[in-house]
Amino acid sequence: MKIGELAQVAQCTVETVRYYEKEGLLAAPTRTAANYRSYNGAHVDRLRFIRNCRALDMTHQEIHALLGLMDQPAGDCSGINQLLDEHITHVDVRIAELSQLKQQLSELRDRCQSEQAVDACGILQGLASMETEPKHERHTHLG
């Protein structure tokens, strides 16, 4: 199948297919005599796997690691378990960060409970006077 067909079957764009090839997540296809890319069922399966990993917010590095482990079917799955445990930890950290963000936004929203002139808006005053915390190092896979 051609790249457009693969993209359609995998429910993504042609650019996504090319990008994953360039990143080494998807193996380069064979070429036809006319130099068109020619994909097969293995490409479909791998692309779906990659897309499912991305839907779970996994990084390309994590996906590379999973694909490497998947390509060694006789090995044990302890590396897969460890990778997923680490990803769950990253998700927990991100949830805590988002909870803190929600709290800050809620506190700002509480500063303005009625419509009034913009120059008297508690939200804008709060944003203008809010002390920004130094950017702390994130300990997640997102950086």
Q: What is the pLDDT of residue 101?
A: 93
In this structure, the answer to whether residues 46 and 95 fall within a common structural domain is no
In this structure, the answer to whether residues 123 and 84 fall within a common structural domain is yes
In this structure, the answer to whether residues 18 and 56 fall within a common structural domain is yes
The dihedral over CA atoms of 102, 60, 76, 86, expressed in degrees to the nearest 10, equals: -20
| Structural domain count of the chain | 2
Q: What is the pLDDT of residues 86-105, one digit of tens each?
A: 999 999 999 999 999 999 99
Q: Say if residues 29 and 23 touch (Cβ distance below 8 Å).
A: no
Domain closes at, from 21, 42, 70:
70
In this structure, the answer to whether residues 62 and 108 fall within a common structural domain is no
CA distance 131 to 66: 42
Domain closes at, from 37, 52, 70:
70
Q: What is the pLDDT of residue 141?
A: 57
Is the residue at 138 inside a domain? no
pTM: 0.76
Q: Say if residues 10 and 20 touch (Cβ distance below 8 Å).
A: no
Q: Which residue range is the domain that position 100 belongs to?
A: 78-129
In this structure, the answer to whether residues 102 and 82 fall within a common structural domain is yes
In this structure, the answer to whether residues 55 and 111 fall within a common structural domain is no
Compute how many other C-beta atoms are within 10 angstroms of the C-beta atom of residue 10. 22
Q: What is the pLDDT of residues 118-136, one digit of tens each?
A: 888 988 989 998 887 766 6
In this structure, the answer to whether residues 40 and 89 fall within a common structural domain is no
How many CA atoms lie less than 13 Å away from 130 in the CB half-sphere?
A: 15
